[in-house]
C-alpha cells in the first residue's frame, strides 16, 4: 500500500532494487547495501531531467534509498523489435539520445543490451536505470547501440561496422551523421520488409 492507502498495481524486482507502481508513479527502492547505486541514479537522472528522455523525478528519500518518479507505462524496446512493431524514426531517436549521452561523457553501460532499459510511450523513447552509469572521456553508447541494432535486426553490413569504428575513433558530429545516415537507410529497408511480413 502507498501513503494514500492505494494498493501497488505492479511490482518489478531486479538485482539491485524493487520498483513499486502506484497510480502514475514508480517508487524505486534500492537494497540497503547499495547506497552508491542509489546516489548514482539520483545524480544522473537529476542531471538529465531537462533533456526529457528520462523519467521525471518527484522526490528522493535517502533514508530508505528510494526514488519516486513518473511511471513510464509503455513497451520496452526488446518486445517492440520482437513483434516487429518498431519503425526507423523510433530507433534513430534512440541513436540520437545515445549521441547526446556520448557528448555529455556519460556511459549508460547497458547499451549493448538495452532491451529493458528503453521504454517507448506513444513512440517516444525513455531511458531508464542509470544506476550503473559512469563518467568517461570515451563513452560508447552510440557504438554499442549500433551493434545491438545490427544484431537484433540480423543486419550484417561491413560498411556500418567501419562507420561505427570511425565514429568511435573521431567522436565528432561529421562521423556520427555519416553513421546515422547509413544506418537509417538500412533500418528503413528492414521496416519495409517487416510491414510486408505482418500483412
pLDDT at 108: 93
Q: What is the pTM of this model?
A: 0.90
State the cell numbers at 112. Answer: 549493448
Q: Is residue 183 within 8 Å of 99, Cβ to Cβ?
A: no
pLDDT at 5: 46
Q: Smallest Cα–Cα separation from 150: which of 139, 162, 138, 136?
A: 162
Separation between Cα atoms, residue 79 and residue 67, nearest integer Å: 26
Higher confidence at residue 22 or residue 12? 22
pLDDT at 6: 46
Angle CA 99–105–109, to nearest 5: 80
The sheet with strand 57-61 has its strands ordered as 10-13, 17-22, 25-30, 66-70, 57-61
State the cell numbers at 145. Answer: 547501440
pLDDT at 7: 54
- Whose grid coordinates read 542509470? 130
- Work out the average pLDDT over 5-32: 82
List pLDDT tens digits, range 26-58. Answer: 999 999 999 999 999 999 999 999 999 999 999
Collapsing DSSP to helix, strand or coil, 64 comes out as coil
Q: What is the mean pLDDT of the chain?
A: 90
List pLDDT tens digits, range 99-118. Answer: 999 999 999 988 889 999 99
**All domains of the chain, ordered by start, with CATH?**
10-70 (3.30.200.20), 75-198 (1.10.510)
Amino acid at each position: 500500500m502507498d501513503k494514500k492507502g492505494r494498493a501497488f498495481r505492479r511490482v518489478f524486482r531486479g538485482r539491485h532494487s524493487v520498483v513499486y507502481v502506484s497510480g502514475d508513479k514508480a517508487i524505486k527502492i534500492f537494497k540497503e547495501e547499495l547506497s552508491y547505486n542509489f546516489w548514482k541514479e539520483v545524480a544522473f537522472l537529476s542531471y538529465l531531467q531537462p533533456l526529457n528522455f528520462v523519467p521525471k523525478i518527484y522526490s528522493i528519500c535517502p533514508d530508505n534509498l528510494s526514488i519516486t518518479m513518473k511511471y513510464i507505462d509503455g513497451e520496452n524496446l526488446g518486445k517492440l523489435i520482437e513483434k516487429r512493431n518498431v519503425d526507423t524514426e523510433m530507433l534513430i531517436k534512440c541513436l540520437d539520445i545515445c549521441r547526446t549521452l556520448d557528448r555529455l561523457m556519460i556511459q549508460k553501460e547497458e547499451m549493448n543490451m538495452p532491451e529493458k532499459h528503453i521504454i517507448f510511450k506513444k513512440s517516444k523513447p525513455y531511458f531508464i536505470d542509470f544506476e550503473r552509469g559512469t563518467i568517461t572521456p570515451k563513452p560508447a553508447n552510440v557504438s554499442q547501440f549500433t551493434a545491438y541494432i545490427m544484431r537484433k535486426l540480423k543486419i550484417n553490413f561491413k560498411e556500418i561496422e567501419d562507420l561505427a569504428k570511425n565514429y568511435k575513433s573521431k567522436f565528432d558530429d561529421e562521423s556520427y551523421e555519416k553513421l546515422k545516415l547509413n544506418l537509417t537507410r538500412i533500418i528503413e529497408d528492414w521496416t519495409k520488409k517487416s510491414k510486408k511480413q505482418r500483412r
